[in-house]
Structure 1
């Protein structure tokens, strides 16, 4: 019974955070402030969405993917993001102890939103690296305390190297990348730092090459590779 309640709670929380992730993603891209308006609106007619039409996943299904007011179709991206968060929150709770599961959930929540925003706007919100740093500190203190000095050193080395690169090649890296790389290096641990740098850089460069981009959004690749490596580190610690 406890497992059912625990798993159901995790899934529902995932849906709720997925809905909030849509807000974090949509509003900056649409040129809106995160706190204005203070309620959800239809992206087409801008009408306020009632609470009963704003239940994650459920309302989309009941309304058949359309706005109750104007009848315009709402992008399927919204329920898919909610479902993705719900399933991932559930899987993490099933496979990991609660404290590790929710640390991973918090990391995925901010990483996903930041990756989409950076991909669209070439901008990484400050909360991304801040939350990643908090998760890294928490996990290191509770799970990898013996390695925390080495992990801090790994993050510091990455910060110094990227600061030098930014000073030398001003347009080569965004300011968000300079903070995000080190905190993910800290969260991943010193043993995964080279892999984090290599894979995220290679994937970003290849993406930029094939898309013929002048400016490459490295954020999505940093958080994607970083999240997978943190996940792998968790698995190996069990």
Structure 2
């Protein structure tokens, strides 16, 4: 690797570590922010029936991506700046809170390393360019959605819709090697295909097989890779998802209701398509399925 490419990729990787630290906050807080918003909407609706003069509910403490500041979940110790350095702080603290000694989840440095590695790859492949930044954004959003969906079965519109629009804009600007026509058709076909599967399954069984967030995520992947990539993407996500679901069932690891979130497998298919290309993904899956 030429030195200039190495330095560019390294800069992107360090930026990825920093962004990965912030994404840990998003992964933890965004679902809780949505829950609070829903609870507030329900409370506001309920207060319409409360007689005049009834005591108003005291406003809750601010809770967003900035407030309150990062702190230990066990003892509320507020993290100092040097306790918030990606990966290094975790190693220096030996995975424990400096105040109470409570264990810190290994997920935090793993997310930081994952995002840093993906940014390094984008910097090495596309350089410090608009294309590199676009695909780094793509990777960051996918990682965030995968962890949120696995934890909560939520794929928030605050993530899926910006990813969809970013794909269309990147195509229009020429930052990705997908024509705008293929991108628009991919977004529409991605959404409609899973929407049709959802309703076919619901009419046949009376149950919901997936959520609307899956439609929007698949539409976003269609915008980034174009409509020809939809078959390889859904094929890989479905096959891997089915294998993981069967393995979890035999290991008695399925959640209540016996479901496995589909979003993380769409994310995995999207990242595989970025690394290998959709055609390679399709050949690999068909080769694995053929006798």
Pair 1:147 & 2:191 matched: no
Distance 1:123 1:151 in 2: 25
**Cα distance change on mapping 1:126 and 1:231 into 2, 3 Å:** farther
- Choose from 180, 189, 214 the match for 2:217: 180
The verdict on how the C-alpha distance between 1:102 and 1:197 changes in structure 2, with shifts beyond 3 A counting, is same
Label 1:28 to 1:60 Cα distance change in 2 as closer, same or farther (>3 A): same
What count of residue pairs does the alignment treat as equivalent? 235
Which digits, 9 at most, give the CA deviation of each residue in 1:4-47, with x for residues without a partner? 65344312211111101211223357788543743101122122
Matched, 1:220 2:264: yes
Q: Which runs of 5+ in 1 are unaligned?
A: none
Residues 72 and 79, structure 2, Cα contact 8 Å, conserved in 1? yes
Q: TM-score, normalised by structure 2?
A: 0.71
Contact 2:176 2:224 in 1 (8 A): no
Q: Which residue of 1 aligns with 2:247?
A: 210
- Out of 185, 189, 192, the residue aligned to residue 160 of structure 1 is 192
> CA offsets, 1:208-230, max 9 Å, x none?
23323422310000111012213
Coordinate RMSD, CA, aligned:
2.7
Q: Which has the larger radius of gyration?
A: 2
- Given that residues 67 and 74 in structure 1 are in contact (C-alpha distance below 8 angstroms), is that contact kept between their aligned partners in structure 2? yes
- Asked if the contact 1:155–1:183 (Cα under 8 Å) also holds between the matched residues in 2, the reply is yes
Output the CA distance in 2 between the equivalents of 1:114 and 1:144: 21
- Which string of whole-angstrom CA distances, capped at 9 and with x for unpartnered residues, describes residues 186-220 of structure 1? 21112211111211122222322332342231000
TM-score, length-scaled by structure 1:
0.85
Compared with structure 1, are the counterparts of its residues 46 and 158 closer, same or farther at alpha carbon in structure 2 (3 Å cutoff)? Answer: same
Aligned twin of 2:106? 76
